[in-house]
Amino acid sequence: MPNDIRTLSVTELASQLIEVRQTSHTLLNCFCTALGSEQLTVPFKENLNPPLWEFGHVAWFADYWIARNPGRSHGRQYQPVAHSPSAFAPADGLFNSATVAHDTRWQLPLLGIEGIQQYLKDVAITTEDCLATDMAALEIPVRLGAGHSVIDNASYFYRLALAHEDMHAEAFYMTAQDLGFPLPGTDRPPWAPAADESQPQLTEPAAETAQASTFRRNELVTRPQITIPKQSLVLPHPASGFFFDNEAEALSASLEDCEIDTEPVSHAAYAAFIEDQGYQRPELWSPQGWAWRERHRLNGPKHLSLSNGRFCRQWFGQTLEIPDWFPMIHVSLYEAQAWARWAGRQLPTEAQWVAAAQWAPEHFRWGNVWEWTASTFLPFDGFQPHPYKEYSAPWFGDHQVLKGASWITNNRLRSLRFRNFYKPHRADVFAGFRTVDALRNYGDSLLNSPTGN
């Protein structure tokens, strides 16, 4: 993948740190326009953060792990040391997500809009200065033949900060979609043709031409499939470059042969489930999923309505018609599992998803929606937390793995290795799913990859 955060050159890293901070400033300005008030007030919700808190947290994270971190040159080998004080004295008590509980963030005495804008600018300047200083210090060791590990360690926290800011940029889009206001790029939804005809066009798959009102379960057998042969899958331990702690060990699994969808389940395919009273049939849902559906009194997916056989989706404050063939989006794990059970299929494990992407990359389409898998988010054997210990370890066991990327995920983060993770009930994520054949039991024997619902 071009511009992969794992392998960016130092020159590219410097320019992309500037680019991502410009994106954060642009998004902050959009939030100011949409929300109006000095404090950018939003409702208290589990899936939201107060925007000023979240923009402040983005700045704090880069400042804490770079300019304030005397051990930053050690990268993954960093040993905990006292970080220097912030130039903004209250920062640690306001913006450290590890110590500031989510529920309390609405009551904090946050900086106003101008204060947060200045905080972002100040941290960007110190980050740029630190990177220039650190890379200059490596000139002689590199000339003398220092190995990759020296550069990897010296650039580790810069790459971590870049990835962190990219992830929050996507979270800001999730917030805007939830609250119903536009952000850059949302005027041209991902199912629309690209404005530049020289760019690849997202086109309707040939097998998915049926109208939603006529698409039935027995037609699901016509969905394009990839046959994955029985194999021992190995996604090796990354030898060099940047990687997240939950990716650090090799993913290996013994897989039986299976058939997996070439692309995520479409709106048309999902409509048949709705029309077949899928939201009123508890036998299709897990006990936790049915309780969630009952609690929220759901008769269909988030942001979606169906009228006269055509889909309309709430899309950043607009109501837009969405083509039948576009991947289903904004569904929870529970909804994905219910659809799969209704269709006589099941969600792929993380290992099956990776195997398919490696086996037939020219046919395995991904990248418009995150994809729920059947794998619980758990550590691979040999897991060791990286210096930012709160990234993975606190979420093992009650989050689910999602693979792929969404339409708004920055290209820097797109990788078969990347493991996204959310709680099963989250339907605000730009997430869909694909399925594997469930007519027989594959009996995955996973050597180093967790699975389970």
The enclosing domain of 373 has a CATH number of 3.90.1580.10
Instruction: Give the up-direction half-sphere exposure of residue 39: CA atoms within 13 A in the CB hemisphere.
Output: 11
Predicted pLDDT at 200: 42
Instruction: Say yes or no: 161 and 259 in one domain.
Output: no
Calculate the alpha carbon distances from 61 to 18, 163, 340, 441 in Å.
15, 11, 39, 45
Instruction: Give the up-direction half-sphere exposure of residue 137: CA atoms within 13 A in the CB hemisphere.
Output: 12
On whether the CB atoms of residues 159 and 8 are closer than 8 A, the answer is: yes
Domains held by the chain: number:
2
On whether the CB atoms of residues 106 and 45 are closer than 8 A, the answer is: no
Predicted pLDDT at 141: 64
Q: Of 179, 198, 233, which residue constitutes the final position of a domain? A: 179
Calculate the alpha carbon distances from 333 to 118, 286, 292, 372, 414 in Å.
39, 10, 11, 6, 21
Structure tokens at 160: 């971590």
| CA 116/CA 184 separation, integer angstroms | 20
Instruction: Say yes or no: 253 and 330 in one domain.
Output: yes
Instruction: Say yes or no: 91 and 239 in one domain.
Output: no
Residue-by-residue pLDDT tens, the chain, 453 positions: 568 999 898 889 999 999 999 999 999 999 999 998 888 999 999 999 999 999 999 999 999 999 999 999 999 999 889 999 999 999 999 999 999 999 999 999 998 999 999 999 999 999 999 999 998 887 766 655 655 678 889 999 999 999 999 999 999 999 999 999 999 999 999 998 765 544 444 555 544 433 333 445 555 545 789 999 988 888 887 777 899 999 988 788 889 999 999 999 999 999 999 999 999 999 999 999 999 999 999 999 999 987 776 889 999 999 999 999 999 999 999 999 999 999 999 999 999 999 999 999 999 999 999 999 999 999 998 899 999 999 999 999 999 999 999 999 999 999 999 999 999 999 999 999 999 996 544 444 333 434 333
Residue written as token pair 């194999």 = 231
Calculate the alpha carbon distances from 296 to 125, 157, 299 in Å.
46, 41, 9
| CA 32/CA 27 separation, integer angstroms | 9
Give the type of residue at 378.
L
Residue 164 forms part of a structural domain: yes
Predicted pLDDT at 112: 93
| CA 259/CA 261 separation, integer angstroms | 7
Residue 199 forms part of a structural domain: no
Predicted pLDDT at 369: 98
Predicted pLDDT at 412: 95
Residue 79 forms part of a structural domain: yes
Predicted pLDDT at 198: 41
Residue 63 forms part of a structural domain: yes
**Residue 267: which domain range?**
212-446
